[in-house]
Amino acid sequence: MPSFRSKRQVRHSAADMFDLVADVERYPEFVPLCESLHVRRKVASGEGIDILVADMTVAYKVFRESFASRVTLDRPRLTIVVEYLDGPFSRLENRWTFRATGARSSDIEFFIDYEFRSRTLGMLMGAMFDAAFRRFAEAFEKRADEVYGTAA
């Protein structure tokens, strides 16, 4: 069962990084393999917590798969949890945690655990997914530099 964990220190505040990752509709602009992302529903449950239901399509060459997930944006705890709803996986769990390490720096933790429903699809797309997940943290850090600027 594939999983990937990454922890990076970045030169941006935890709140800014949370906002960047929470802006899921912008993912097609910079996230590896993300061809499209559409938010079906957004519910503000109060206390700084929003819940989204989103459809994401990932693509690489001739492969294209779509899946639905529930995204819980917990601003007070600076965490984002993605729960799988429907698509080609039998399981998908994704968590982001943001911790301030200074006024303009933070530690970002990314974790994903997944398994394709089809063994064949897992063999075809598994290596590609693994490579993309290894580039995720870098893609978000680069995007943060573009959006918020770099520290002088």
Give residue 152's pLDDT: 44
Give residue 135's pLDDT: 79
Could you read off the pLDDT tens digit of each residue along the chain, which spans 152 residues?
Answer: 678 888 999 999 999 999 999 999 999 999 988 999 999 999 998 799 999 999 999 887 777 889 999 999 999 999 999 999 998 888 889 999 999 999 899 999 999 888 888 777 666 666 666 677 777 778 898 999 999 987 54
Distance CA 98, CA 19 (A): 10
Write the DSSP string, 37-55: EEEEEEEEEETTEEEEEEE
Does 3-148 carry CATH code 1.10.10.1100? no
Distance CA 124, CA 55 (A): 22
Give residue 65's pLDDT: 84
Structure tokens at 137: 């943290």
| Region at 101 (left for phi over 0; alpha for psi -120 to 50; beta for the rest) | alpha
Give residue 136's pLDDT: 79
| Nearest partner of 110 among 86, 82, 131, judged by Cα | 82
**pLDDT tens figures, 32-59:** 889 999 999 999 987 999 999 999 998 8
Residues 20-37, buried b or exposed e (16+ Cβ, 10 A)?
bbbebeebeeebbbbeeb
Domain boundaries, the chain: 3-148
